[in-house]
Structures are given as C-alpha cells and as structure tokens.
Structure 1
C-alpha cells in the first residue's frame, strides 16, 4: 500500500542569502481548489489549509512582488508559477524557490 503524498515548499532570497519570510503562496489542486498560505520565519511552508494532497497536476503560485518590493525596493516578477505533477506513488514532494529581484529558479527538492 502506497503512503499518501506530502508537499512542502521553501523560499530563499539569494540576494540576501536568507529565507523569504511571510511570502504569500497559493496552491491550486487538480480539482481547482486553492489554499492561501504564507511562508514562516524560515521561508518554509508545509501546511495547505484543509486540502488533501493526492495525485495530479498542481500549480504553486509564489506572490513574489510584495516581498521583493518591500525587501529590495522593486519587483520585476509580480509572481512566479510553478506547475508540477504528483504521482500516485506517494512520497514527499518539496518545491523550493530561489528568488532575487531579477531572477528565480525552482527544482524538485527532497
């Protein structure tokens, strides 16, 4: 029997070399349900309101504009969308975002 999948995220400000605390995130499930959450003081998030994580295609929107404007004075990227697929195999999915005022990158973490 497969274990239910789990999901977490971590946002790092590569310009400062620090976590991006209190950034707003919106997770959209395959069914179109959403969770509006924010990163903690360490830039992490693993609580998705009452959503159940299951197999399918997801979108995680990082609302980077407000954070970048507050911390760096301007924001080229108002948001960053990361689309990914969770399979029925279960396991843990980690979606990190590395952000700076003029660049970003994401990957499947562990």
Structure 2
C-alpha cells in the first residue's frame, strides 16, 4: 500500500510498457490568488514500473502539507523529456491533469496512458 495519498502510473501505449523516468509534480491552486497561481507541493520521477507512489511521503515534503476537501490540485507529467530519451518526437511536451479532492482521507490514483500524439487518463483505484 502506497504511503502517499496521491499516486500515479504512466504506461506508454505506443510500446505497451510502463514509462520510467518521467518527471512528475503535484501542485495546489492558491484559492485567494489572482490571477490564478499554483504552488508546488511535491516532485518525483516514475520508477521502472512507471509508478510514482511517494509524492506526498518523501522527506522533501513539508510536514504541513495536507489535502483539503474542495481543493483544486493538478499533477504535471514531463512527457517531452521521456520521449526525447526514446528518440521520438511528441506533440505534447507535458500533460497537466487538474482534479478536485472531495474526500481528503481517500487515496487518489491518477493513471496516464501516453503515446507521442495522444494521452488519456481516468481516476484509478
């Protein structure tokens, strides 16, 4: 069981395998900020299985970081670097997935399927 309440998993559907080494960042929208601004909460990199299970459980995360009900978050995947290393051109240099935390005590898993010219996501379990 992952110790982070937010995890992700990336599969490269163009080769049918996990996507290791993809940079991942988790950000929270600053509710009172105008114009819209985002604050970085955590950064990570997908492992050999394409997973990042420790975004909010690493030593680098401030101890006061708590998920808030109704909070707007986004996870950003640095897909260009991954495809560059594979010698492929990609149309999407990064993928941003915004989501709302409705129940802070639940686990949020964000799977991402990528290829050089498409991506798809859903709320996982």
Give the TM-score normalised by the residue count of structure 2.
0.77
Partner of 1:23: 22
Q: Please tell me the root mean square deviation across aligned C-alpha atoms, in Å.
A: 1.7
Name structure 1 gaps, 5 residues minimum.
none
Partners of 1:100 and 1:108 in 2: how far apart? Answer: 19
* Greater mean deviation of Cα atoms: 74-83 or 46-55: 46-55
**Paired position in structure 1 for 2:72:** 57
Deviation at 1:106, TM superposition (A): 0.6
SS in 2 for 1:33: strand
Shift of 1:33: 3.2
Residue 47 of structure 1: aligned partner: 54
* Secondary structure class of the residue paired with 2:26: strand
Largest Rg, 1 or 2: 2
Matches within 5 A, 1:68-107: 68-88=83-103, 90-107=105-122
Superposition deviation, residue 20 in structure 1: 0.2
1:11-68: CA deviation from partner (whole Å, max 9, x where unpaired): 0000111000010011102452331210011000121241534121101000000111
Contact 1:7 1:53 in 2 (8 A): no
- 5+ residue gaps, structure 2, are 31-38
Distance 1:53 1:12, change over 3 A: farther
Deviation, 1:70, is 1.8
In 1, Cα distance between the equivalents of 2:116 and 2:87?
A: 7
1:96 Cα offset (Å): 0.5
Q: Secondary structure at the match of 2:86?
A: helix
Q: Which segment drifts farther, 57-66 or 33-42?
A: 33-42
